[in-house]
Amino acid sequence: MANQGLNSQIAHARRWAATSVLLNASLAAGKGMAGWVSGSAALMGDAVHSDTDVVGSAAALLGLWPAGRQHPSFPYGLYKAENLATQVSALAIMLAGYEVARHAILREPSMPIDI
C-alpha cells in the first residue's frame, strides 16, 4: 500500500518535470531566436541559461523513471537515481558556464545591424 502512494507521487513529479522540460525549451528557443535576430549577447547568454534549465529538468525527469522501480535488493525503489540526475544537471551548468566565458573572452561581441 505504501508503494502505491510513492508511485503516485513519482507519477505526479514526472508530469511536472515533463511540463518543465517543455516550458523551458520553449522559453530557451524564444530567447535564442530573439537574441539571434537582435544580435543581443545578453539574450543569447540568457538562452544558454534557459538551455541548462532544460537539461536540468530533463535530467530530473530521467532520474524519476528508475526512482520508483523496485528491485529485490532495493524494496523501497531506486530513489538514488535522482542524485545521479542532479550530478548530470550540475555538469551541464558547468559546461554552459565554461562555453559562455570562453565565448566572451575569445570573441568580439556581436553588434545589432543598424537599419
C-alpha cell, 28: 530557451
Average confidence score pLDDT of the chain? 78
Q: Which of 32-41, 89-98, 106-115 has the highest mean pLDDT?
A: 32-41
Contact assessment for residue 19 and residue 53, using Cβ atoms and an 8 Å cutoff: no
pTM passes above 0.85: no
Q: Among residues 43, 16, 21, which one has the least CA distance to residue 30?
A: 43
